[in-house]
Amino acid sequence: MIKKELSITELFAVLSVVALSISVLSNAFFYYSLDALWVMSILSPTFYIFEIIKVTVILFAAIAVVGGLIALYKFLLKKWQILKPKARYRLNIHGDNLELKQSVKSSEKRFEVGQIVFITIVTTIGAVTLFHFKWIGYTSVLWCAVLVGSILAFLTDHKIHKDQSLKIIVFTIIALFATCYSAQLKLNGIQNSPVAFLKSPDKNTWYVLDGFQDKVILLSQAENKSNIKVVKFDEIDRISPIN
């Protein structure tokens, strides 16, 4: 009983460390891209909880999408095989049935290639559509491709499935990709962030990046230069959403 409780405690501790690491990495990627890593030093631990949830949702949503496409491909292939004329082979009990073995290997290869092509086409169409409507940026499309590709390998590669250590390593890498993708989405959405109007006279347009405790992190972009400052809520006159 003690051993079981200890295992659960250790598992919870590991998951907590992993979740916190993901959140820290995501915010580090975000603020590093804005050349403002110093912001990380003033963030409270509770600030990272939302980022943990966001990355987790993105990760499992991506896995669900890729898994769903794999299932859809198998379903469509099964329907196609019903309509397709069946190939006939003569089974020789005393022979090596080389023709049959080659046919099976060829079918497996075609299945794997077809699956990759199908998922690549569908996800590319989806990503290009999102990019066309400016819901995601060019860099986000690249991160999306990397994330989908790594998840596809994780779900379909037999070598990964057989090696538990390799499976953990690959999943960790996927989590890192999801973290970077989450941060990139946040970067792309800056121009759509609410605008804060300060009580003190200021001609700059200040976008609201984040808020924690009684403070707000603001960003102003002008002439390819980003300015970030942290103000208290009582220094803000009002916050207006982007129309």
Give the domain-ending residue among 188, 208, 233. Answer: 188
Q: Is the pLDDT of residue 92 over 90?
A: no
Residue 96 lies in a domain: no
Is 33 found in the same domain as 74?
A: yes
My answer on whether 35 and 73 are in the same domain is yes
Average pLDDT, the chain: 79
pLDDT band at 5 (very low <50, low <70, confident <90, very high): very low
Six-digit token string for 80: 């196609």
156 with 235, same domain: the answer is no
Same-domain check for residues 135 and 71: yes
Is position 159 within any domain? Answer: yes
39 with 111, same domain?
yes
| Structure tokens, 48 | 């990272």
Please check whether residue 152 lies inside any domain of the structure. Answer: yes
Q: Which two tokens stand for residue 176?
A: 């890192």
Long-range contacts: 208-216, Cβ < 8 Å, 24+?
A: 208/239, 210/43, 210/47, 212/43, 212/44, 212/46, 212/47, 213/44, 215/42
The C-alpha R_g of the chain, in whole angstroms, comes to 25
- What's phi and psi for 84, nearest 5 deg? -75, 140
pLDDT over threshold 60, residue 1: no
What pLDDT is recorded for position 36? 83
Same domain, 205 and 172: no
The answer to whether position 94 is within a domain reads no
Question: Which residue, chain included where needed, has tokens 């003690």?
Answer: 2
- Where does the pLDDT of residue 48 fall: very low under 50, low under 70, confident under 90, or very high at 90 and above? confident
Given a cut of 70, whether residue 104 has pLDDT beyond it is no
Closest CA to 209 of 27, 24, 38, 20: 27
Looking at the fold, whether 28 and 148 belong to one and the same domain comes out as: yes
Question: Does 220 fall in a domain?
Answer: yes
Is 132 domain-assigned? Answer: yes
Domain check: are 59 and 29 in the same one? yes
Q: Which of 130, 127, 126, 114 is nearest to 72 (CA)?
A: 114
Q: Provide the residue range defining the domain that includes 220.
A: 191-243
List, in sequence order, the alpha helices (H) in the chain: 2-33, 48-83, 98-132, 138-156, 158-162, 164-188
CATH number at residue 237: 2.30.30
What is the residue type of 204? N
Both 117 and 173 in a single domain? yes
- Residue 68 above 90 pLDDT? yes
Of 143, 171, 188, the last residue of a domain is: 188
Question: How many residues are recorded in the chain?
Answer: 243
Instruction: Judge if 58 and 8 occupy the same domain.
Output: yes
For residues 62 and 171, state if they share a domain: yes
What backbone phi and psi angles, to 5 degrees, belong to 242? Answer: -75, 130
Domains: count for the chain: 2
Is residue 71 one of the residues assigned to a domain? yes
Boundary-marking domain end, from 142, 170, 188: 188
221 falls within a domain = yes
Spatial separation of the C-alpha atoms in residues 208 and 187, rounded to whole Å: 12
Cβ atoms of 197 and 236 closer than 8 Å: yes
On whether both 214 and 162 belong to a single domain, the answer is: no
